[in-house]
Structure 1
Amino acid sequence: MSLLLQYGIIVSAWILSLLMILVIPRQKRRLAMVAFLFKQYITCIFGHIVVELQLLAYPVREFAEVNRTSFAYEYMAFPMTCAVFNAYYPSHRSGWIQFGYYVIFTTVLIIGEVLLQQYTDLIRYVHWNWFWSWATIFLTFLMTRAFCVIYFGTMRGARYI
């Protein structure tokens, strides 16, 4: 795949991530912002650990001189998806529906990652596979949701969850 097309995918990821702001309901924007920032924080840590241990590589990336991770994925696309995840989380539904919500969001992200891994140079599995990505994404969704519940649960009268 040409380098120009791969950078086009990166730009598209930025544009789609920014457009996701439009689907977040006004009353859930504070929750979405907290989820976005927390997800950026933990994704930054996990992303750097995985890259430094040479489990994953991002051969084509923005800011290549500064950062060996994918800036678009780690700092925008993934956190924005988590913001939408939390804004629409089915907190008043059964545990199975909530679990399915985690599984669906995680699986959709992994399908996209696997396609990028197979057909582009945007991500390369070195000592990694799709299952490890699935597990870490699931875990970070879970951690972010727990953080939001605790954060907003400690605020008196908060109705964001």
Structure 2
Amino acid sequence: MRIEWWILIIVNAMATGILIFTAVKQIRLAAVAFLFKQVITFLFGLLVVEFDMIEYPVRLFSAINRTSFTYEYYAFPAVCALFNVWYPSDRSVLVQLGYYVGYTSVLTAGEVLIEKYTALIDYIHWEWYISWITIFLSFFLVRIFCVWFFHSGENSSSSRNFL
């Protein structure tokens, strides 16, 4: 079996573990973050591959979809659920910003390594910093949605929760 398939198996197992871990803490928040992240990655992921910016040569369900099911629809949303469940909303803005930068940087670094050393992803008209920006923005959008979703009936005076 090629190394790419082992990576896909390991990433799927890790994403499953992350979902179980986050669901134990706050299942509703984890589910909302997971599902809303899937909406974002579904739309944006399809655009990126259809405009030949990124290619996924080795992927699950290759006859159905040109995007990476494992990353776009499972692993990335699972990490986003973890991000939101453990978000430090009671900490300073600097800590919250560091939380965003940390998650975004780790995911981008992993993607760059996978792009460089495997056939799971190929950048065509794409760069690592575009990934960093889009990952950061997608985390931010999901965070805004989750705060709105769970505080829509309350008068939330703290805007720090959005960061």
Category of TM-score, reference length = shorter chain: over 0.9
Partners of 2:25 and 2:85 within 8 A in 1: no
State the alpha-carbon separation in 2 of the partners of residues 117 and 127 from structure 1. 13
- Equivalent residue for 1:133, pick from 116, 119, 131: 131
Contact in 1 for aligned 2:18/2:78 (Cα 8 Å): yes
Q: Does 1:22 align with 2:20?
A: yes
Give, in whole Å, the separation in 2 of the partners of 1:52 and 1:43.
Answer: 14
Q: Partners in 2 of 1:129 and 1:32 — Cα distance?
A: 30
Task: Provide the C-alpha distance between the structure 2 equivalents of 1:121 and 1:32, rounded to a whole number of angstroms.
Answer: 31
Pairwise CA distance, 1:26: 3.4
Number of the residue aligned with 2:121: 123
Aligned residues: percent identity? 48
| CA distance in 2 between partners of 1:32 and 1:83 (Å) | 5
Name the residue aligned to 2:158: none
In the other structure, the counterpart of 1:152 is: 150
Q: Which residue does 1:82 correspond to in 2? A: 80
Q: Give the drift of 1:24.
A: 1.8
Indicate how the Cα distance of structure 1 residues 27 and 13 shifts in structure 2: closer, same or farther if over 3 A, else same.
closer
SS in 1 for 2:2: helix
Alpha-carbon distance in 2 for matches of 1:64, 1:109: 23
Aligned to 2:7: 9
Q: How many residues align?
A: 156
- Tell me the CA shift for residue 11 of structure 1: 1.0
Q: State TM-score, norm by structure 2.
A: 0.91
Distance (whole Å) between structure 1 residues aligned to residue 47 and residue 153 of structure 2: 33
Q: Secondary structure at the match of 2:89?
A: coil
1:31 to partner: Cα distance: 0.5
Q: Residue 143 of structure 1 corresponds to which residue in structure 2?
A: 141
After superposition, what is the alpha-carbon deviation per residue over 1:76-106, rounded to whole angstroms, capped at 9, x for unaligned?
Answer: 1000000000000000111111010000000
Q: TM-score, normalization: structure 1?
A: 0.92
Q: 1:33 matched to which residue of 2? A: 31
Contact 2:108 2:132 in 1 (8 A): yes
- How far is 1:156 from its partner? 5.2
Q: Where has structure 1 moved over 2 Å in runs of 4 or more?
A: none
Secondary structure at the counterpart of residue 151 of structure 1: helix
